[in-house]
């Protein structure tokens, strides 16, 4: 079967919690079926469809998905699906879909720290039960951006109005949250400021905290590191 390289994407309205889902499957009819099942139950989600290793790896490195369904037997070779899995951040919930249902295969999948496993052939009920559980369990603290209009950021499903500079600062802090050393120095953050800006990094951080607290008064994820900089601390359930 010819490899489909184009990205197929459903950009759906952000309603309630802004969920971001990826379906990685090389067979277009199967991919579309999985998309339709998820979209029918989660009309407010954005669903990205990927059909090959290269496009999928690029996407999972750029996007902070809530859930990914991954065909582990992804073409063009038997290692493609594994390569994609290893490119996905550990905190992302991954449901593996495989033609192998033996215990050895299941054990090897769970050893890769996947959220769940589905064996072909599967039913809509089986798939959606696992998808539903994964999305219900997902972290609530992720700050989401609608990439079709990058000025729109969502915290726990609520719109946060950030300036371009504030957005860059939040993105830098948030992207480092799983690093061994998540602290971003003041010097590094200063380089994100627009030339000629009078406001300091400290002032921008204060405004960001205030803007997010406008939609969530309990927000405390941006932590100060004395004389060093700032870091993003995930909530306990993350």
CA nearest to 208, candidates 162, 143, 148 = 162
Q: Answer yes or no: is pLDDT of 52 > 50.
A: yes
Point out the least confidently predicted range of 26-35, 46-55, 75-84, 208-217: 75-84
What pLDDT score was predicted for residue 12?
A: 35
Can you give the pTM of this predicted structure? 0.56
Point out the least confidently predicted range of 9-23, 56-70, 210-224: 9-23
Provide, for the chain, the percentages of residues in helix, strand and coil under a 3-state DSSP scheme, each rounded to the nearest 5: 35, 20, 45
Percentage of the chain lying above the pLDDT 70 cut: 81
The tens digit of pLDDT for each residue in 113-133 reads: 788 999 999 999 999 999 999
- 22 touches 93 (CB < 8 A): no
The tens digit of pLDDT for each residue in 58-108 reads: 888 877 788 999 998 887 777 888 889 888 877 788 999 988 877 777 777
| Domains located in the chain, CATH noted | 8-136 (3.40.50.2300), 146-232 (1.10.10.10)
pLDDT band at 13 (very low <50, low <70, confident <90, very high): very low
pLDDT band at 33 (very low <50, low <70, confident <90, very high): very high
Average pLDDT, the chain: 80
The tens digit of pLDDT for each residue in 132-165 reads: 998 876 655 455 555 444 456 778 778 888 877 8
Torsion of CA 57, 101, 37, 151, to 10 degrees: -20
Q: Tell me how many degrees the CA angle 94-25-36 measures, rounded to the nearest 5.
A: 85
What pLDDT score was predicted for residue 152?
A: 65
Helices (H) and strands (E) in the chain, counts: 8, 12
- 161 touches 141 (CB < 8 A): no
- 229 touches 183 (CB < 8 A): yes
């Amino acid at each position: 079967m010819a490899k489909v390289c184009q990205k197929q994407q459903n950009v759906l309205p952000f309603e309630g919690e802004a969920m971001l889902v990826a379906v990685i499957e090389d067979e277009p009819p199967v991919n579309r079926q999985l998309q339709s099942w998820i979209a029918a139950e989660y009309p407010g989600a954005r669903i990205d469809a990927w059909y090959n290793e290269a496009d999928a790896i690029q996407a999972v490195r750029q996007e902070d998905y809530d859930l990914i369904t991954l065909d582990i037997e992804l073409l063009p070779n038997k290692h493609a699906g594994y390569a994609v899995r290893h490119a996905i951040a550990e905190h992302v919930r991954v449901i593996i879909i495989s033609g192998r249902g033996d215990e050895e295969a299941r054990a090897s999948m769970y050893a890769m720290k996947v959220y769940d496993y589905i064996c072909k052939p599967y039913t809509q009920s089986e798939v959606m039960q696992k998808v539903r559980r994964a999305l219900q369990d997902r972290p609530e603290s992720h700050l989401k951006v609608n990439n079709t209009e990058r000025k729109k950021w969502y915290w726990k499903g609520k719109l946060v109005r950030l300036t371009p500079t504030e957005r860059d600062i939040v993105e830098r802090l948030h992207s480092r949250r799983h690093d061994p050393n998540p602290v971003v120095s003041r010097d590094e953050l200063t380089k994100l400021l627009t030339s000629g800006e009078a406001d300091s990094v400290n002032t921008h951080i204060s405004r960001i905290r205030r803007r997010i607290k406008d939609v969530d008064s309990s927000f405390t994820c941006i932590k100060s590191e004395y004389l060093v900089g700032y870091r993003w601390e995930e909530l306990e359930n993350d």
